[in-house]
A and B are shown apart, each in its own frame.
Chain A
Amino acid sequence: MSETIKTDVLIIGAGPIALFAVFELGLLDIKAHLVDILDKVGGQCAELYPEKPIYDIPGIPYITGHGLTEALMKQIKPFHPTFHLNEMVTTLQKTGEPLFLATTDRGRVFEAKVVAIAAGGGSFQPKRPPINGIEPYEGKSVYYAVRKMEMFRDKQLMIVGGGDSALDWTLNLQPIAKRLTLVHRRDEFRGAPDSVNKMRALVASGEMDMKIGQVTALEGDDGVLTAASIKTKDGVDRIECDAMLPFFGLTMKLGPVADWGLTMEEELIPVDTAAFETNIPGIFAIGDINTYPGKLKLILSGFHEGALMAQKAYHYVYPDKRLVFQYTTSSTSLQKKLGVA
């Protein structure tokens, strides 16, 4: 993945504001690549409230987070955006006037004329269990994701959680681990019934262990785990293990945005309200992640911010062209782009 991807605009995030920005940019012949840490588009709409109703989208009295995401994907289809999911932009550097180089945690490199940060409340990252002294173990023997299964071969592995991530990795890693213990707070699992049955069968045949309880302490030196204490209803059990995978869902954290040389106010990026541009010309911030006098964290405000961002982005992408403002209702050139003329 060493080949640099060149794009007009790199959008960081793929939530509703990022998706609508693709539309506004597309009308101006500006192409976009989007990078999102989630494995799906829609951001908070997809992760936090897919089935919950939203009542304040103009002209749409009622729509779910999932419904809004689907509708936006349909709306931007004519512009063929490229999505890079399950991926996080880790570095961003200015290399021209303006030109930016961005890299991701998967080693992908982008060269973009404009960057639009539409990262909402930050990136969704795994929740860390509040176990005293867990920090030194993280990345050495406690992991929040499985990048390479081989890392767990012949390990005494402890998996913590009761959802699909915990169950799927239990079933995938049990055959290669030396011994696997699944720890969960109750004897009920919300994961897919088929996975639950398979896991229970492995426990019944003695091929793995299951413990009902909560992890309260870790033992080891220099981040090398040797055992964990599990508080059960009958007391505390000590279980030997040298690798742990806790799966407690996701939470929003600001992430690497803070390291890109942008002016920050608390965990937000101040922008001007003419173009929603940051202190670095060519880098814009739209949606929940920005701040300005009177800011409201509303989807409708983010849509507006994306429209104005696109107007200014045009001048960076096409410095020699004049931008003529047009309406989709009457402009045949816009209608051609939308595939309706």
Chain B
Amino acid sequence: MPKITFIEHDGTKHTVDAELGSTVMETALRNDIGGIVAECGGSCTCATCLVHVDEAWFAKTGGPSAEENDMLDSAFEVKPTSRLSCQIKVSEEIDGLVVYTPSYQGR
């Protein structure tokens, strides 16, 4: 099972198992990771599951789709490696992924 490390804005680190085929957002919610709201439940319509992908991992996750990039307009403190975590699928490819959760998701 792939592992994902979430680092909260205060530095708290969680390394958790992620189910293949689920999303990084679902993995965060199942593990009570702070800073992920996911108001729309994974429909790419609310921009409240923003994460900053660790630069070393950005080539693996890739950048946002056009639809996701449009939604990123409704997020805050968007960086070049920011993604909506509901749009990152868990695969063996991203085993070991490191993402940072923001201090604020716009509520």
A127 engages B107 (CB within 8 Å): yes
B70 engages A190 (CB within 8 Å): yes
Given known contacts A127-B74, A127-B107, A251-B106, A49 and B39 CB-to-CB distance under 8 angstroms:
no
B78 engages A161 (CB within 8 Å): no
B74 engages A121 (CB within 8 Å): no
Q: Which of B38-80 contact A (CB under 8 A)?
A: 39-41, 43, 45-48, 69-70, 72-78
Give the contact-size bracket for chain A: 20 to 34
Q: Which of B73, B78, B103, B107 meets A251, CB within 8 Å?
A: B107
Q: How far apart are the CA atoms of A57 and B43 in the complex, in Å?
A: 18
- Which residues does chain A contribute within 8 Å of B73, judged by CB atoms? 161-163, 184-186, 190, 248
A185 engages B106 (CB within 8 Å): no
- Which residues does chain B contribute within 8 Å of A195, judged by CB atoms? none
Q: How far apart are the CA atoms of A188 and B75 in the complex, in Å?
A: 15
Q: How far apart are the CA atoms of A126 and B46 in the complex, in Å?
A: 12
Q: How far apart are the CA atoms of A251 and B103 in the complex, in Å?
A: 16
Secondary structure type dominating chain A contacts: loop
Given known contacts A214-B77, A214-B78, A249-B47, A130 and B104 CB-to-CB distance under 8 angstroms:
yes
Contact bitstring B73-107, A, C-beta under 8 A = 1, else 0: 11111100000000000000000000000011011
Contact bitstring A152-180, B, C-beta under 8 A = 1, else 0: 00000000011100000000000000000
- Which residues does chain B contribute within 8 Å of A128, judged by CB atoms? 106
Q: Which of B72, B104, B107 meets A185, CB within 8 Å?
A: B72
With both chains docked as a complex, state the minimum distance between the C-beta of B106 and any C-beta of chain A, in angstroms. Answer: 4
- Which residues does chain A contribute within 8 Å of B77, judged by CB atoms? 130, 214
Q: How far apart are the CA atoms of A96 and B55 in the complex, in Å?
A: 63
Name the CB-closest residue of B to A125: B107
Interface residues of A (CB under 8 A from B): 44, 47-49, 52, 121, 127-130, 161-163, 184-186, 188, 190, 214, 248-249, 251-253
Sorted from nearest, which 7 A-B pairs have the closest CB atoms?
Answer: A249-B74, A127-B106, A190-B70, A48-B40, A130-B104, A49-B43, A162-B73
